[in-house]
Structure 1
Amino acid sequence: MALHGSSFCYKVNFIDLRNFKGQHCPWINSLSSPSPKPNIFLSERHHCLKKLHVGGGTQPLALPARLLSLRACKVRSEDSEEVASGESIVLDEQTLIRELQAAIEEENYTQAAKIRDSLKVLQEDSKASVLAANSRFYTAFRKGDLAAMQSLWQKADNVCCVHPGASGVLGYDDVMESWELVWMNYDFPLDIELKNVRVHFRGDVGYVTCVEFVRTKGRSWGAQFVTNVFEKIDGQWFISVHHASPVDL
């Protein structure tokens, strides 16, 4: 399948992630915000009190002093290629699935076999599959759909999630809890725009790089350079690393 282009956009509103502060939970302590409004919940697993402060201002998170060069992050190899919209890949897959179901219901088994072959080719195309997995990740992100997010991550102790301005969160359970913390003060759907989307793969490991913009009701995170790493397990791509770092554009 030929893929063209380099970016795609989801229309959703900018997460203005404000302040995480925790006791005995160091991964939360690296986020800061001037907002005074707290939300408190008790985590039985960590046995610590966590506070999420969300401000009403529009100032973006502080960005690091050094500037990251997007050009320097380009990867050159035979297994790397700039690609187009992940939405189109997902839509193609969904369309083929619907057509397959319709053909089976109509007992048109010859047509069903052809559609099944086309669906198999699409799903086995590594670039398309990795990009489609990335698209599903951002659909869950956009909707604040925790159940969908849980199904997309590899259930392992070595998965890692780095939210903007925070230290890394390790392990499936802690990563899922971190998404609950990020989402608990925002209205959905969000407005997420991705630019400079590129997919790379080798064997059963693939990754997507992009520049991410998230907004909600006038608030802004600014630009984040994102790397999402996926691993193919039993024929399905699962995300194992999400790393978002602020960049000054």
Structure 2
Amino acid sequence: MVSRAKVPVAIFGSPDDIEAQFYEALQRGDIDKLMAVWSDDDEIVCVHPGGPRLVGATAIRASFEAIFSNGVVNAQPEQVRRVVSLTSAVHNLLERVEVLSEEGPQAAWVIATNVYVKGAQGWRMVAHHASPGTPQEVQEIIEAASTLH
């Protein structure tokens, strides 16, 4: 059983509220606030860019503790695409991550998918999957809607 500190999370907040708290926690290196956005479900999952699938709160917490031991993660969510139903939401987005290089701070891009489920505690994250990005902004390919005449 993972001990979780009580961090205020809106009981019936929206997926957007939970996502904002997730990225704020990354930017502050706040492990307790970060873990508070996750569901209590045993099957929650997280995949960091190029990393293995982490299942469960203990594995996810340990991975973020290791990341925070190297400093905060300055990731900003951008270009969010949302699919929302009454009890679930899927957000696909670009994360603009500031990384330090020999030339100074630079932006790198990660493609991420965050999945949220609404339960007794309100909205909570059940999956975060981040794919390796590029030094340049990721381009989108958008299919134009077809119109029947």
Task: Provide the aligned C-alpha RMSD in A.
Answer: 2.0
Secondary structure at the residue paired with 1:132? Answer: helix
Equivalent pairs: percent with the same residue? 26
1:115-145: CA deviations, max 9, x gaps?
A: xxxxxxxx67xxxx11111111101111110
Aligned position for 1:224 = 110
CA contact (8 A) 2:23 2:76 kept: no
The alpha-carbon deviation at position 220 of structure 1 amounts to 5.7
CA contact (8 A) 1:227 1:242 kept: yes
Q: How does 1:23-62 map to 2 (within 5 A)?
A: none
Runs of 4+ residues over 4 Å off in structure 1: none
The alpha-carbon deviation at position 193 of structure 1 amounts to 2.5
Aligned counterpart in structure 2 of residue 133 of structure 1, from 18, 25, 36: 18
Instruction: Give the whole-Å Cα distance in 2 for the aligned partners of 1:144 and 1:216.
Output: 15
The alpha-carbon deviation at position 150 of structure 1 amounts to 1.7
Instruction: Give the whole-Å Cα distance in 1 for the aligned partners of 2:50 and 2:106.
Output: 14
Q: TM-score, normalised by structure 1?
A: 0.45
Q: Which runs of 5+ in 1 are unaligned?
A: 1-122
Instruction: Give the whole-Å Cα distance in 2 for the aligned partners of 1:206 and 1:214.
Output: 23
Aligned counterpart in structure 2 of residue 182 of structure 1, from 67, 70, 78: 67
Higher strand share: 2
Structure 2 vs 1, CA of residues 229 and 211 (structure 1 numbering), >3 Å: closer, same or farther?
same
1:154-196: CA deviations, max 9, x gaps?
A: 122210000011011011111111111111111x4x4322221
Number of aligned residue pairs: give it.
Answer: 121
CA contact (8 A) 2:44 2:55 kept: yes
If asked which structure has higher relative contact order (CA below 8 Å, sep 6+), I would say 1
Aligned position for 1:82 = none
Q: TM-score, normalised by structure 2?
A: 0.72
Aligned position for 1:204 = 87
- Structure ID, larger Rg: 1
